[in-house]
Amino acid sequence: MNASLSFRGASVTAVIVVLLTGVLAVGSLLPASSPVQVSPFIMTLAGKYLAYAMLALAVDLVWGFAGILTLGHAAFFALGGYAMGMYLVREIGARGVYGNADLPDFMVFLSWKSLPWYWWGSDHFPVALALMLVVPAALAGLFGWLAFRSRVSGVYLSIITQALTYALMLAFFQNGFGFGGNNGLTDFKDILGFDLHSSYTRAGMLFISGLILAGALLAGRYVVGGRFGSLLIAVRDAESRTRFLGYRPEQMKLLVWVFSAIIAAIGGALYVIQVGIINPGEFAPANSIEAVIWVAVGGRGTLSGAVIGAILVNLGKTLFTAWLPEMWLYGLGALFMATTLFLPQGLMGLMRHIPKKRPSEVTPEVTSPEGEEA
């Protein structure tokens, strides 16, 4: 199948994301009296959905194309969020509750005398960007090298990834860890001198988030749309046979694992900027499991499906938690079961049954990775 045609939908989705975020950004700048004015609440929700779409895209890259069912990608999402949160907290300076220009409020409250070494330089935006990219990538690289080199796969790998994010959650809950304990980091004022509560800043950040998500979609399309993507699918469907042909599946898994971790981390940073808080709850394994559901609903191995699934499921969550808050979790479980039973290829799989003159964007039928039950 021609790669340029196979993932045409990723390019279309990227364009739609940019256009929609542009419309929302412009709408938020209209006067409050305008009937089409977009409220700050809607802007925050839209920004959160875009950040979650980045996480879903990261999960789709490793699950949909390499057959790695990850239950721990929330760890990379949260680490990226904390890296950005460190910068935003330092930006507060003397405007905090305690008026300390050198220490964040929570450190003053806990009687810290100086910044920990791992906070050095976090008041500089380039350093924050470096932390956002390097720390999750390094953790993913170390974890992936150990796991894939040992040929851990299937449910065992899923459990280990879940244990990773749970261990990080417990660590970040500790006050002595230096990241605000269970309260996390919040009360952000500005970014690069721009007021985060300004409608212009909100509009700009939403549009930038749309551009970044579109860029991540195109980057993912480039990575999996060529020969490397074909090898990933071969590893997913027949790892032993791929190894027998002389390839190194563990190296290919490691590369896409680290790449997906970076995408998730960028999503976490965008989440913090627009939602205004990051706490250890973002490491919760339940968040990683939800991301898997988003991808399953949209259609794994499609890129576009991950984005669509993340946005639609979270939109449904927003609506149903307002209407029937006590029933939402049951609804989410029912949605996952219904998708598994009736839409095993997700919403994007429906496109297979629509007559077309051109090839579908959906990848070859997903089969169960080695070591997993069908």
DSSP string, 25-88: HHHHTS-TTSTTPPPHHHHHHHHHHHHHHHHHHHHHHHHTTT----S-THHHHHHHHHHHHHHH
In the predicted model, what is the mean pLDDT of residues 249-263? 96
| Cα–Cα separations (whole angstroms), residue 72 to 91, 137, 302 | 30, 14, 21
Query: Is a pLDDT exceeding 60 seen at residue 366?
Result: no
Q: Quote the longest CA-to-CA distance of the chain.
A: 68
The larger pLDDT score, comparing residue 51 to residue 35, is at 51
User: Quick one: what percent of the chain has pLDDT higher than 70?
Assistant: 92
Contacts of 264 (CB under 8 A, 6+ apart): 54, 55, 58, 59, 73, 74, 76, 77, 80, 136
**What are the tokens at 116?**
């920990």
**What are the tokens at 34?**
């305008």
pLDDT of residue 358: 52
Question: Considering the entire predicted model, what is its pTM?
Answer: 0.90
User: Per-residue pLDDT tens for 313-327?
Assistant: 999 888 887 777 777
Closest CA to 228 of 339, 66, 117, 372: 66
In the chain, what are the domain boundaries?
11-30+39-284
pLDDT of residue 108: 92
**What are the tokens at 115?**
């910044």
The rounded distance, in Å, linking the Cα atoms of 243 and 250 is 9
The rounded distance, in Å, linking the Cα atoms of 76 and 133 is 10
Query: Is a pLDDT exceeding 80 seen at residue 203?
Result: yes
User: Per-residue pLDDT tens for 58-115?
Assistant: 999 999 999 999 999 999 999 999 999 999 999 998 898 888 888 999 999 998 999 9
In the predicted model, what is the mean pLDDT of residues 330-349? 82
Query: Is a pLDDT exceeding 50 seen at residue 263?
Result: yes
Listed as own residue / partner, the contacts of 317-321 with beta carbons closer than 8 Å and 24 or more positions apart are: 318/45
| Cα–Cα separations (whole angstroms), residue 6 to 24, 64, 269, 352 | 30, 14, 30, 12
